[in-house]
Chains A and B, each alone.
Chain A
Amino acid sequence: MIAEIGHFALILATGVALYQFLVPLYAAQRGDRALMRTGLTASVLQLALIATAFAALTHAYLVSDFSVQNVFENSHSAKPLLYKISGVWGNHEGSMVLWVLILALYGAAVAIFGENLPLELRSRVVAIQGSIGLAFLLFIVLTSNPFMRIEPPPIEGNGLNPILQDPALAFHPPFLYAGYVGLSIAFAFAVAALIDGRVDAAWARWVRPWTLAAWVFLTIGIAMGSWWAYYELGWGGWWFWDPVENASFMPWLVATALIHSAIVVEKRNALKIWTVLLSILAFSLSLMGTFLVRSGVLTSVHAFAVDPERGLFILIILCIFIGGSLALFAWRAPMMKAGGLFAPVSREGSLVMNNLLLCVACLAVFVGTLYPLALETLSGEKISVGPPYFNLTFGPIILPLLLLVPIGPFLAWKRGDAATALRRLWISLAVAVAVGLVVLALNIRGPWLAPFGMALAAWLVLGALTDLASRIALFKAPLATSWHRIIGLPRSAIGGILAHGGLGVMIAGIIAISLWKIEVIVALKPGEAADVGGYSITFIGETPLTGPNFTGRAGRFLVKEGDREVATLVSEKREFQPSGMPTTEVGLHQTLAGDIYVVMGDATNDGGRAIRMYFNPLVNFIWLGTFIMFLGGLLSLSDRRYRVGAPKRHVAAQAVPAE
Chain B
Amino acid sequence: MESPDSVVLTVLLFWPLVAALLVILFGSSDRLIKNGSIWASLLPLGLSIYLLFAYDIEGGGMQFEQVAEWIPQLNAGYHIGVDGLSIPLIFLTALLSTLSLYYSAGVINQRVKEYFFLMHLLEFSMLGVFLALDYVLFYVFWEISLVPMYFLIGIWGGANRGYAAIKFFIYTLVGSVAMLLAILGVYFATGTFDIVEAAAAQPFAGNLTLASLAFWGFFLGFAFKVPSFPFHTWLPDAHTEAPTAGSVILAGVLLKLGAYGMLRIMLPSFPEASVYWASWLVALGAIAIVYGAFVCVAQTDLKRLIAYSSVSHMGYVMLGIGAAATIMTPDALASAVDRFGLSAEAIQDSAAMALNGAALQMFNHGIITGALFFLVGIIYERAHTRDLSLFGGLATKTPHFYGLMLTAAFASLGLPGLAGFWAELFTFRGAFALMPYWAAFGTIGIVITAVYILYRIIQNVFLGEYDEHKLPHWTTVEGHQADGPTDMVGFEKVTMWPLIAAMFLLGIYPTPLINYFNRSAQELLAFVRNLV
Q: Does A associate with B in a complex? A: no
